[in-house]
Amino acid sequence: MKAAILEQPGVLKVKEIEIPTIKSDEVLLKVQVASICNATDNHIYHGDFDGYHDFYPQILGHEVAGEVVELGSDVKDIRLGEIIALYTPRGAFTEFTVVRPTDDLWVRVPESIPVRIRSLVEMFHGAYVSAVHPAQIKPHETVLIVGQGPLGLTATATAKLTAHKVLTVDVHDFRVRKSLEIGADVSYNRSVMTTEDIVAAVLKETDGKGADVVVMCISEDRSTERDAFDMAVKALKRKGRITGLFVDAKGIENNHRLNPRLLLRKEATFAHTLNEVYESQADELKAFQFAVDKVAEGKINFDAFVTHEIGFSELEYGLDLCVNHMNEAIKVVLYPNR
């Protein structure tokens, strides 16, 4: 089978390797589609994600969907022929990968969901299960989401399922427009609006109260002012809730300013941790499956996320798109047989 193997940072080669042999508690998945994680896959490719997948060689990628073609003798919860999607720590950019149902976070994908967006549902775990659902958004509330990359857009789409109003912020005009296409009620462009402009606009949208919930979905603040956290807290209502996704700890440390006094004055609450929201992995998977089913019902427009479709030979081009062409790329999907 073909696999995209990262031999060392910056050295990616497509090679023929053996199809893996599964153990009794494993499943063999024939990959239909995989997608590039804009942040993690690029960090691993460049070798600057300390302590996480910093070993070589490795098969790159973790967002994947495919058909179950072989079952271990002890596997009970999955059937042959089912389509599943998951986060895999064993590499996604390959023709076949191994799934460990008792360890991996996986979901069934209805056949009504088009192949090109099946691997994208893995993002629900980061955006919905880990951030939006724990915020416990209520139908009358207004949510402000800062950052409209793939996870931010996923947060927008899932928050819109419950919230009265969803407001978003990004520095790229393309992503501001994409946010509105996904379902945001209003989207603000930080490249043409100051912090004060955005805070004033949020207050106007909320009758002077501020957003009930803020979801931070940026790893690196790319605005001129470098004050995304301060902006978000200023736009938050008193006793509001904050949650978020932080992919790049170095980016946060080097690029975000936060005034602790402002945070304390707001009496803000940080949203519940996963352990407080989900009593078991089964509860976590139930929330994961809920979001996937909303795609099948047509309530989440994942098709709008896909901006580029590639094969193995274009993988490095796809990685470059994700970090250096943010005004034209959202999700790049890879077909192993293309």
What integer pLDDT is reported at residue 208 of this predicted model? Answer: 98
Pairing mode, if any, of strands 83-87 and 63-71? antiparallel
**Element spanning 13, H or E:** strand 11-16
Q: 2-123+302-334 has which fold?
A: Quinone Oxidoreductase; Chain A, domain 1 (3.90.180)
Per-residue pLDDT tens over the stretch 277-290? 777 778 888 888 98
- The one-letter code for the residue type at 269 is T
For 237, residues 6+ apart whose C-beta sits below 8 A from its C-beta are 206, 209, 210, 211, 212, 266
Read off φ and ψ for residue 221, nearest 5 degrees.
-75, 110
DSSP state of 117: G
CATH of domain 137-271: 3.40.50.720
The yes-or-no verdict on residue 168 having pLDDT over 80 is yes
Lowest mean pLDDT across 52-61, 228-237, 270-279: 270-279
Burial class (CB in 10 A: 0-12, 13-18, 19+), 180: middle
**Structural domain boundaries in the chain:** 2-123+302-334, 137-271
Share of the chain above pLDDT 70, in %: 94
2-123+302-334 and 137-271: identical CATH topology: no
Closest among 243, 233, 235 to 264, alpha carbons compared: 233
This prediction has a pTM of 0.93
Give the Cα separation of 174 and 329 in Å (integer). 9
What integer pLDDT is reported at residue 257 of this predicted model? Answer: 67
Give the Cα separation of 35 and 49 in Å (integer). 19
What integer pLDDT is reported at residue 284 of this predicted model? Answer: 80
Lowest mean pLDDT across 31-35, 201-205, 226-230, 239-243: 226-230
Q: Which SS3 state, helix, strand or coil, does residue 210 take?
A: coil
Per-residue pLDDT tens over the stretch 290-326? 889 999 999 999 999 999 999 999 999 999 999 999 9
Give the Cα separation of 147 and 150 in Å (integer). 9
Question: Sheet harboring 165-170: ordered strands across?
Answer: 186-189, 165-170, 142-146, 211-216, 236-244, 269-270
For 130, residues 6+ apart whose C-beta sits below 8 A from its C-beta are 245, 274
What integer pLDDT is reported at residue 184 of this predicted model? Answer: 98
Share of the chain above pLDDT 90, in %: 72
CA distances from 21 to 24, 70, 95, 337 (A): 10, 10, 14, 21
What integer pLDDT is reported at residue 332 of this predicted model? Answer: 98
Contact 33, 99 (CB under 8 A): no
Confidence of residue 204 (pLDDT cuts 50, 70, 90): very high
Mean model confidence pLDDT for the chain: 91
Read off φ and ψ for residue 311, nearest 5 degrees.
-115, -175
